[in-house]
């Protein structure tokens, strides 16, 4: 249960004075449903009203605060024109203008002959100084009521700065003093304010520096948020480790058979990864390990040997892939090796229905099928294993945490191996998984040649097509990736179809195949088959080939309007070539008017093939929020921390969380109790509940 101390800030917005249902709705849209969300709604910048030049020296466009004498009112002759009030000081004249003005109100606020202080943005109209709708008008003796520095908040349509500001201040006044949860030594070294002071300072900046990400108050709040998230992860993980796992350590008999059938030797990093995985599986706690390796680095084989380990112990294993194509491809990679090792594998996707599916499920339930490869279809309730020991999840970021749990629920103490080809920058890894065990496959299988990446302007597309024509004659296999069109699948498809027709026209019907996301699985397979084993040498594709697809003979890739793709996406796409022994070429065709970031993306692609370098650059160019498409990727979204800036705070929060859980696993010490409040404050209630249930 949430501590009472926090009740006032977890009350609905309508509990604030002056906030009725209509404004509450707007505030909720801008910030969130509770008072606490307004506390997290931090100003983006400040307006400085301290500049008070004489009228004659007021520069256009600046915010000024000026003492004037009111001369005369000019009510408009008709409603479309502004109400004008002529004012002056010793140096010149200033006109205040108001549209849709209330005459009585203006006469009361700006009585002729009296002095007033006005603040607003100076504009010049036919060399006459004007302020349209001054932000403040006060009597000289109340000059102090005009804030020298005014915070500027992100707004939402219909919400005015004044209303928002008032609500925020009201929220701040409800912020309780909370017991300190930070390590006293760390707090002293950083010289940060307390949580309560940080909230007050954040909403009452004195200078522009106070709203920067590096301001003391911002760092404190960012660290609090990161610590809450890392602590929650650490708690969940400590609990998972405590769950009874099973010691899985086979006699290597089956693995030896598969190894003999393997047409290559494992690389050093594959061997290392298998050692780490083997140690995890052998221990009695549950494995949760991430296998990170660039496209084509050979993760599938590693997964296979881990699965065979489980099978040697009499268990079963599941391999989950994000797409149908990829599931089938894993199946094809693994099948010959499985055959050699004398084990049975099967593939299950949404396409499998009726009798065949039923038969498959029966075999799975009695343990006759030892490895099941599949898509989301594996999650279905009627898919039951006799004894699932290991689940491997490929391309993790496409699956949510609850799906991971659903799979774990299909066995007892199931070990988890999560594979990702998206090289996630270290900072993002930490934020999403906390202190997760990671194995990496940094080197590619031997014999791979680097891909020659070139940038080609769109105007030279004809030359590109000619070059492709020569490559076709020499027997090459070519991917032709069509441009993304403004988030529209329909238009993506239109672009691909058009290119497909065009290339068929140039090179002949047989030579070109087309795959896209809207195709039925059967058609897709047929097109792929024509490309892999058939006469087709050019595969025109939307981004559906991004994940998976292994055609080692393919050596050329053309990406049209490459500037529209993200770095990670380009990297994934290019990873489809350079998989065989022959040299490969990637042509990034770009359109006119490149933005600066687009240009940097393309240059990065030309300079490096290192996925980790590319991922770090991606983080720099896009910022953490956008990377990997946030929500759907399972990456947490932070309100106060900006990972592109607060990366080092994240690492500290991770270390701190680990230490806390080591020393005070139940959070029962004084600091532990304060940390519980921190968890509630950032709505990590589930983590606290985990603590309680032991």
- Residues near ligand ADP (CB under 6 A) are 264-267, 270, 293, 295-301, 421, 445-446, 550, 579
SS (H, E, C) 68-115: EEEEEEECCCCCCCCEEEEEECCCCEEEEEECCCCHHHHHHHCCCCCE
Q: Is the Cβ of residue 553 or residue 683 nearer to ligand ADP in the bound state?
A: 553
Residue that is written with structure tokens 């549950």 in the block: 286
Half-sphere exposure of 286 (CA within 13 A, CB side): 24
How would you classify the pairing of strands 115-125 and 136-138? antiparallel
* Minimum distance from residue 602 beta carbon to ligand ADP (Å): 23
CB of 447 to ligand ADP, least distance (A): 7
Q: Residues 68, 55: contact at Cβ < 8 Å?
A: yes
Please choose, from the candidates 303, 637, 244, 290, the residue with its C-alpha nearest in 3D space to the C-alpha of residue 435: 290
In whole angstroms, the minimum distance from the beta carbon of 647 to ligand ADP comes to 27
Burial 94-126 (b: 16+ CB within 10 A, else e): bbbbbeebeeeebeebbeeeeebbbbbbbeeee
Cβ proximity to ligand ADP, 330 vs 658, nearer residue: 330
- Cα 326 from chain centroid? 23
**Spatial separation of the C-alpha atoms in residues 525 and 235, rounded to whole Å:** 44
Q: Which residue number, 132 or 340, has a Cβ lying nearer to ligand ADP? A: 340
Q: Do residues 443 and 267 touch, judged by C-beta distance below 8 A?
A: yes
CA-CA distances (angstroms) from residue 95 to 38, 74, 146, 618? Answer: 37, 10, 20, 50
CB contact at 8 A, 668 and 688: no
Q: How far is the CB of 253 from ligand ADP (least distance, A)?
A: 22
Least separation in angstroms between CB 377 and ligand ADP: 21
Q: Please give the residue whose beta carbon sits closest to ligand ADP in the complex.
A: 298
37 or 572: whose CB is closer to ligand ADP?
572
Based on CB atoms, which residue is closest to ligand ADP, 579 or 684?
579
**H or E stretch covering 538:** strand 538-541
Of the pair 58, 334, the CB lying nearest ligand ADP is at 334
Residue 78 phi, psi dihedral angles, 5° rounding: -145, 165
Based on CB atoms, which residue is closest to ligand ADP, 231 or 528? 528
Task: Quote the least distance from Cβ 582 to ligand ADP, whole Å.
Answer: 14
Residue 408 or 419: the one with the smaller Cβ distance to ligand ADP is: 419
CB of 417 to ligand ADP, least distance (A): 13
CB of 3 to ligand ADP, least distance (A): 47
Contact between 482 and 497 under an 8 Å Cβ cutoff? The reply is no
| Three-class HEC string of 259-310 | HHHCCCCCCHHHHHHHHHHHHHHHCCCCCEEEEEECCCCCHHHHHHHHHHHH
- Residue whose CB is less far from ligand ADP, 286 or 299: 299
Shortest Å, Cβ 390 to ligand ADP:
17
Nearest to 280 by CA among 315, 306, 298, 316: 306
Considering the complex, state which of residue 467 and residue 552 has its C-beta at the smaller distance from ligand ADP: 552
State whether the Cα torsion 457-459-463-464 is positive or negative: positive
Nearer to ligand ADP, 301 or 588 (CB): 301
How many residues comprise the chain? 694
Q: Where are the alpha helices (DSSP H) in 313-408?
A: 324-341, 354-366, 401-408
């Amino acid at each position: 249960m949430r501590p009472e101390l926090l009740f006032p800030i977890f009350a609905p917005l309508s509990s604030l004075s002056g906030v009725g249902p209509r404004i509450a709705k707007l505030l909720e849209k801008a910030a969130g449903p509770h008072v606490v969300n307004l506390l997290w709604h931090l100003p983006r910048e400040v307006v400085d009203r301290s500049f008070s030049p004489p009228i004659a020296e007021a520069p256009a466009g600046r915010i000024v605060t000026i003492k004037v004498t009111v001369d005369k009112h000019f009510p408009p002759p008709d409603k479309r024109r502004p109400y004008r009030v002529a004012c002056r000081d010793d140096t010149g004249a200033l006109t205040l203008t108001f549209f849709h003005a209330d005459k009585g109100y203006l006469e009361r606020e700006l009585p002729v002959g009296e002095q007033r202080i006005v603040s607003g943005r100076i504009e010049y109209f036919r060399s006459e100084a004007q302020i349209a709708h001054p932000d403040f008008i006060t009597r000289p003796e109340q000059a102090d009521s005009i804030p020298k520095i005014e915070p500027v908040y992100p707004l939402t349509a219909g919400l005015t700065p004044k209303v928002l500001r008032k609500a925020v201040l009201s929220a701040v006044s409800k912020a309780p003093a909370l017991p300190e949860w930070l390590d006293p030594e760390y707090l002293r070294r950083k010289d940060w304010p307390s949580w309560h002071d940080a909230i007050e300072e954040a909403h009452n900046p004195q200078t522009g520096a106070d709203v920067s990400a590096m301001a003391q108050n911002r760092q404190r709040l960012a660290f609090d948020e990161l610590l809450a998230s890392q602590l929650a992860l650490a708690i969940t993980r400590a609990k998972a480790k405590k769950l009874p796992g099973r010691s899985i350590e086979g006699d290597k008999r089956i693995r030896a058979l598969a190894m003999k059938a393997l047409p290559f030797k494992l690389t050093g990093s594959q061997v290392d990864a298998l050692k780490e995985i083997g140690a995890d599986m052998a221990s009695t706690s549950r494995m949760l390990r991430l296998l990170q390796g660039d496209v084509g680095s050979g993760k599938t084989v590693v997964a296979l040997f881990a699965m065979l380990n489980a099978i040697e112990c009499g268990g079963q294993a599941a391999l989950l892939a994000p797409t149908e194509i990829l599931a089938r491809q894993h199946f094809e990679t693994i099948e010959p090796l499985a055959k050699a090792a004398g084990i049975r594998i099967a593939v299950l996707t949404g396409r499998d229905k009726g009798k065949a599916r039923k038969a498959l499920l029966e075999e799975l339930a009695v343990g006759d099928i030892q490895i099941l490869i599949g898509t989301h279809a594996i999650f279905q309730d009627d898919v039951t294993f006799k004894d699932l020991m290991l689940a491997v999840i490929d391309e993790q970021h496409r699956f949510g945490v609850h799906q991971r749990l659903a799979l774990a629920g299909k066995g007892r103490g199931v070990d988890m191996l999560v594979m990702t080809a998206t090289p996630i920058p270290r900072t993002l890894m930490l934020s999403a998984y906390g202190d997760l065990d990671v194995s990496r496959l940094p080197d590619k299988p031997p014999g791979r040649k680097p891909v020659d990446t070139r940038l080609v302007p769109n105007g030279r597309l004809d030359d590109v097509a000619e070059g492709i024509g020569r490559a076709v004659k020499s027997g090459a296999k070519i991917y032709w990736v069509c441009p993304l069109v403004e988030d529209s699948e329909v238009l993506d498809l239109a672009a691909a179809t058009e290119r497909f027709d065009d290339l068929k026209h140039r090179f002949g019907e047989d030579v070109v195949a087309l795959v896209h996301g809207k195709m039925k699985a059967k058609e897709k397979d047929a097109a792929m088959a024509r490309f892999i084993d058939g006469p087709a040498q050019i595969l025109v594709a939307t981004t559906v080939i991004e994940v998976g697809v292994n055609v080692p003979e393919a050596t050329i890739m053309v990406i049209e309007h490459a500037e529209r793709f993200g770095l990670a996406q380009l990297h994934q796409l290019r990873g489809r070539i350079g998989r065989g022994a022959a040299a490969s070429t990637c042509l990034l065709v770009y359109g006119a008017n490149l933005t600066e970031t687009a240009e940097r993306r393309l240059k990065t692609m030309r300079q490096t093939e290192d996925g980790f370098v590319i991922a770090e650059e991606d983080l720099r160019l896009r910022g953490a929020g956008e990377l990997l498409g946030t929500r759907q990727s399972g990456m947490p979204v932070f309100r106060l921390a900006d990972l592109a800036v607060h990366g080092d705070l994240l690492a500290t929060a991770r270390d701190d969380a680990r230490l806390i859980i080591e020393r005070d696993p139940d959070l029962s010490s004084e600091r532990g109790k304060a940390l519980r409040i921190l968890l509630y404050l950032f709505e990590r209630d589930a983590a606290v509940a985990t603590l309680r249930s032991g």
